[in-house]
Amino acid sequence: MVRLPPELWHAVAGNVDSKKDLLRLRAVNNTLHTFATPWAFQKLRLSDWPRDLRFAQQFFGTSLIAPAVRELIYDVRDNNTEYPDSDVDEDGDIEMTGPVPRLRPLKYQPCSEDYDSEVIRSELHKAFCFIQDLTALSKLEFKFSPGCDLPEDYPECADIHLEPQFSGTYDSRAEGYVEQWVILNTILDRPVPSHLDTLILDNVAPLHTALYTRPEFASLIGRLKNLRISTYDEVDDPRFRVFWTHTMQNIVFGSLGDSLTSLSLSYRTLPLEGHRMHFQGLRLPNLASLSLEHFIVDSYTQVGDFIIRHKHGLRHLELTRCLEGNWFLELSIDMVSWTTGEETYVHYVEPVDGRFVLLDTQADDFPEQQDDFTALAELEALVASKAAASDST
């Protein structure tokens, strides 16, 4: 591993304007005696643009950045379809944009390789090979393509034991499940960082493949404290059945460990009879938060029995459009004790100007302080001076 190249320093200080980054800069404002910019990389987002993935490889291969990354978000191009004109400057440099730092080249026009499936798969593999170097990584989040149009020749049996094949131009809905296969297999092929305890799989293609039968997958699930899985919405395809009846029911549920404190599962639509999973006999002694969406609550799924079994430990329960008989359940409760019936709604609070106030990081009235902008200015000046010194040597 090598130190961060000087030409990439600008990427750290460029438009670090998100509220969370300002708060982070406020915290390190008094310790800017050394190059502190890796703080900005604690939470990093990357997409499936080949050029983005190459930048990620360069960043992950540095001795400054890799140990700083604590959260990694993979967000497919459905949520990052183009580069906004407002990001373009005269220098065509790299900058960080959005609520989470995102590697994005400026003045960049998509080219043919951006839609070449082979190139995308290769760059995905290379980028996630660095997973073992992210020694402080505690959270992995994947936001896959929201939809799954399978090729007509995809096998009727969902028990696939070979690598999914694809070719031709890129189509995120048709090839999204292959991206998932490449990424997850690459991660399982390498030592998982010891601090990793949170896994989020959003819009997973509900297709059973051989990677789910690997011992490394069961080991990864078993070490988690927080797990969230949501699936595509086309659950009426019979090829999806094995995913629910085997992958989720036997492998995922069978691998959950005592360390799990938060579980969130979501169908996009109500499942068919053959796709349903049940909670019979499942016990998670440290479960504190449970969130279910579009689950059927009946004697087969035993969702109600599962909740009652864990009522003394649960602190948060959320049911979204869960069907019980002819009724949809909508419930979100934070509780102190089920036995007394007392309920306490917990809010995120922070002392500001000597008083406690409710904070919503998505709200427009977030209380930004002058120290935030001072810290940002100092950081930008520091990076500029270091870059100038490097250019002169």
Weakly modelled stretches of the chain, pLDDT under 50: 1-17, 19, 22-23, 25-36, 78-108, 151-174, 336-367
Whether 19 is in a domain gets the answer yes
Which domain, by its residues, includes 28? 1-40
Are 87 and 59 spatial neighbours (Cβ–Cβ below 8 Å)? no
Whether 31 is in a domain gets the answer yes
Q: What is the pLDDT of residue 374?
A: 59
Q: What is the pLDDT of residue 219?
A: 96
Q: What is the pLDDT of residue 181?
A: 85
Please give the Cα distance from 128 to 133 (Å, whole number).
10
* Phi, psi of 357, deg, nearest 5: -130, 155
- Based on the structure, what is the number of domains in the chain? 1
Whether 374 is in a domain gets the answer no
Please give the Cα distance from 46 to 57 (Å, whole number).
11
Q: What is the pLDDT of residue 290?
A: 93
Any alpha helices (H) in 98-155, and if so which ranges? 117-128
Whether 223 is in a domain gets the answer no
Q: What is the pLDDT of residue 208?
A: 82
Whether 160 is in a domain gets the answer no
Q: What is the pLDDT of residue 274?
A: 65
Q: What is the pLDDT of residue 163?
A: 44
Whether 187 is in a domain gets the answer no
Whether 178 is in a domain gets the answer no
Whether 161 is in a domain gets the answer no
Q: What is the pLDDT of residue 55?
A: 78
Are 79 and 100 spatial neighbours (Cβ–Cβ below 8 Å)? no
Give the predicted TM-score (pTM) of the model: 0.69
Q: pLDDT per residue over 35-69, tens digit each?
A: 345 556 677 778 788 877 887 887 787 776 788 78
